[in-house]
Structure 1
Amino acid sequence: MTQNAPDRILLVDDNPAFRAALADSFAIAGLEVELHEDGQSALASLSGTLPGVVVTDLRMPRLDGNDLFEAILARDRELPVILMTGHGDIAMAVAALKRGAFDFLAKPFMTDHLIASVRRALETRRLVVENRRLRQAALEAEQASPLLGQTPAMVQLRDMIQRIAHTDVNVLIEGETGTGKELIARLLHQGSPRRGRPFIRVDCAAVTEAMVDDTLFGTRLRRGQIAEAQRGTLFLDGAEAMSPLMQGRMLAIAENREMPSPAGGMVPVDVRIIAATKKPLAGGEGTTGFREDLLYHLETVRVSVPPLRARRGDIALLFNVFLEDAARRHGLASVPMDAAIETCLLTGEWPGNVRELRNYATQVALGLAAKRPALSSRLGLAEQMDAFEASVLTQALQNHGGDANAVAQALKLPRRSLYARLQRLNIQPAVFRASPSRKARDET
């Protein structure tokens, strides 16, 4: 697939004076333009980098604008084409609109009208290119790990999971609601030597004091959760909600590696304990009332999962994955991300984190975009600007493979200014550089 230059305009007209006048107007408007005198020359140019929009006259020698439009449709149906017509060609232009042309203007027209139409087309093309990039990035991310994200925080999190998964240490996972704590617990289990044994989840908030012993140790008629998890992983979800009795029972298991049997006596326990909590387990006299001695057993390794607001550069990628998944599950056509959705993604606070984002993607796929979350009322202008800036920089780094020099040139920034912005927003260019194995794969 060829790369796209979403800000470049391909202008095609056989009248030199008219072509030069339009080129001057585009230059004054700050738009980059490439000039061609006929459709055949323009079509040859399309064998390289695709432009952001094509503006073409209909009546031209050799290859006219209508034939050029048909050739562009065969190449990329989402490349915007604006037609310039004489009054006698309006019927032809309307027919082209029905086949997918972006717009047409009847000569003579005000240059401002053409500039406005071109700007709309460029924005449309930018969103098309961004959606394609996100789909490709989502495919690569899903193949690499179900824990999606390309920001430094998520790269570091995946690296940590990989380093500790094969060990047998207990792990405490901290993260707000909806951040994917259970997914991380399952990844730790799947990457461990215990992967062939059970992964047993215990909802600590649902275990009352009266249910603790039966739930953990079982009865004469039913095996307990710890027996079910033997030689596997015991996942304590919502550990902050454990009752004092349950904390005491888990402490005895963690310390002694044995438990009472319903038939009498003690039996050995061989489980790896992974606990997850929505709030810090203070221990001792902390506000959670959590036992400090049990905390020390659970937090051999502590894993902190960042909320979405701390990794805004991942939001569009995650949303695109969830949107495609929702469309597939409900048998619907894919919905492209538009400007309104993009604004919502950049400025929303997402207190429900990944779970809330997934729900929003489902609403969009079902045509319920009117129910999208309201823009943040607590996010200040500076924070909104930072979120937008981080998104632009992250996208540019992804497009240029982490090459900061290329990004500085593309964004027309001095290198010193670019590095200062990256440092302030905690964005590391190295994260976006292809690994040797991936680079070799891309070159084959």
Structure 2
Amino acid sequence: MNTAPKVLLVDDEEQVLKANSQWLELSGFSVICCNTAHEAINQLQQGFMGVVISDVKMPGMDGLTLLEQAKQLNGNLPIILITGHGDVSMAVEALQKGAYDFIEKPFDPDRLKERIQRAHEQLELKIKNQQLRQQLAEQSGISAKLLGESKAIQLVREEILSLANFNTPVLIHGETGCGKELVAQCLHEYSQRANKPFVALNCGAIPEALFESELFGHEAGAFSGAQKQRKGKLEHADGGVVFLDEVESMPSHLQVKLLRALQSGEIERLGSNRIINLDIRVISATKVSLKDAGEFRQDLYYRLNVSEINLSPLRERQTDIPLLFTHFADLAAEQYQRPVKTLAPSDIDLLMAYAWPGNIRELRNIATRYILARDKSIIDLIDADNSKEIEEADRILESVLSLSQKLNQYERQLLHKALEKYQGNISQVMAELDLPRRTLNQKMQKYGLNRLDYLEK
């Protein structure tokens, strides 16, 4: 942890309060002491963010009332209640009202320390996920379309807004899955042509025999199978934008025709001698260097590359990954009517360490599968074909994760495998792991594990 976990300690007995405070501070916690529940409420109203530990039996406002009021002020705060007069019914009532845990005096100090650490980790998890969703909610305009706060994506947004209202051709460079078409759509949407057509053509997906007809159109009878007249993509985009994706795949003999059409602003449909005047803006995208591509015409390259936008691969935008993943996961949860899932800190670390060879397209796929999968972790969902990238991610994680984070990863894996082995049978899992029911429930809640997901289908 970068900062000492904060603890709000509440007890009406001065000596007990002082002794527990000193021990917690020696254990690495930052402690605020309160003699009464009213003092604690005042601290909470001032924005305290940490773990609350309170005695139950106190004059004036007792610990259970403090619990209720604290939850009203901030439902995220983990609250641990301590009492020497507790019984089963009181413990049940406290947990029903939202207490994180309930400990009876005398208690093992190391046990309390472990509970505080776990409660703080849970709080950090909730805060991190809330911050991600708040960040998503605050996005507007082009920032809501091209998500991210990295310098790389900020520069792309600035370039789009700068180039949008010029009619010059734009060439977008980027690896597969980086979002080149989305950038092209933004260039169109923020331009004066926004109410005109945006026509996308994937040059790598069209058979060469059909390419000319797809681009320029044809008249009825122009070739075998041409039973009626058809407008081509360029004509259909008149007044608006044509987006040529994977333009490096365009057949060489059609590059000449496209160049002529762009220079003259005129086309002819196949099987026709009639000149059709066009007003189009061409936006192209490529995953290779057109200038160095041997089969791509240099004169067409210079025609298409009047302005250019370079998209960074996702591995160079690591800080944007949690926000993008949360966005896609929430979209999937809404689309498939599945519960929204929160990301554990170890999940976020793994997402940021992974190389994402498929870029944003792969990220969206994993986010969707994460929502749909019942018993798969993030690492389980990353394609096994990417074993080298996974090994590299594991190597990076080994260097950045704290001991507690590594232990959490291992503990979650043990729980997952036991639940899977016994198909959600809690009694057998308790016996396998030698855990009491309450501790097992707490650990499953911490790691987002639901026994229903493991039941035999």
The reply to whether residue 194 of structure 1 matches residue 193 of structure 2 is yes
- Give the total of aligned pairs: 381
Cα distance in 2 between the residues matched to 1:180 and 1:6: 40
Counterpart of 1:67 in structure 2 is 65
CA contact (8 A) 1:7 1:51 kept: no
Aligned position for 1:377: 391
Alignment of 1:30-429 (within 5 A): 30-86=28-84, 88-143=86-141, 144-220=143-219, 221-261=229-269, 262-283=271-292, 286=293, 289-368=295-374, 369-370=376-377, 371-373=380-382, 376-379=390-393, 381=395
Q: Provide TM-score, normalisation by structure 1.
A: 0.81
What is the distance in 1 between the residues matched to 2:211 and 2:54?
A: 75
**By how many angstroms is 1:376 displaced?**
2.6
Residue 23 of structure 1 corresponds to which residue in structure 2? 21
* Distance in 2 between residues matched to 1:380 and 1:121, nearest whole Å: 26
Q: TM-score, normalised by structure 2?
A: 0.78
Residue pair 2:366, 2:381 contacting (<8 A) in 1 also: yes
CA shift in 2, pair 1:290/1:385, >3 Å: farther
Tell me by how many angstroms 1:384 deviates: 7.6
> How many angstroms does 1:90 deviate by?
4.3
- Report how far residue 117 of structure 1 moved: 0.8
Q: Any idea what the Cα deviations from partners look like across 1:214-249, whole Å, max 9, x if unmatched?
A: 111111211111110111111001112212123222
- Alpha-carbon contact 1:347-1:384 (below 8 Å) kept: no
Check the 8 A contact 2:350/2:393 in 1, yes or no. no
Deviations 1:92-126 (A, max 9, x none): 12332233211122211121111111111111111
- Runs of at least 5 residues in structure 2 that lack an aligned partner in the other structure: 220-228, 384-388, 403-457
Indicate conservation of the 8 Å contact 1:90/1:106, yes or no. no
Structure 1, unmatched stretches of 5+, are: 389-444
- Quote the offset at 1:385 in angstroms: 5.5
Contact 1:208 1:243 in 2 (8 A): no
Look up the SS of the partner of 1:314 in the other structure: helix
Q: Which amino acid aligns with 1:267?
A: I
* AA in 2 matched with 1:63: M
Q: In 2, Cα distance between the equivalents of 1:367 and 1:28? A: 43
CA distance in 2, matches of 1:209, 1:364: 39
Tell me the distance in 2 between the aligned counterparts of 1:233 and 1:192: 10
Structure 1 SS opposite 2:22: helix
Separation in 2, partners of 1:294, 1:200: 20
**Cα root mean square deviation, aligned:** 2.3
Paired with 1:272 and 1:130, the residues of 2 have a C-alpha distance of: 43
Q: Which runs of 4+ in 1 moved over 4 A?
A: 379-388
Per-residue displacement from partner, 1:178-231 (whole Å, max 9, x unpaired)?
111111101101111211211111110122321122111111211111110111
Q: CA deviation at 1:380?
A: 8.0
Q: Verify the 8 A CA contact 1:209 1:245 in the aligned structure 2.
A: no
Distance 2:394 2:334 in 1: 37
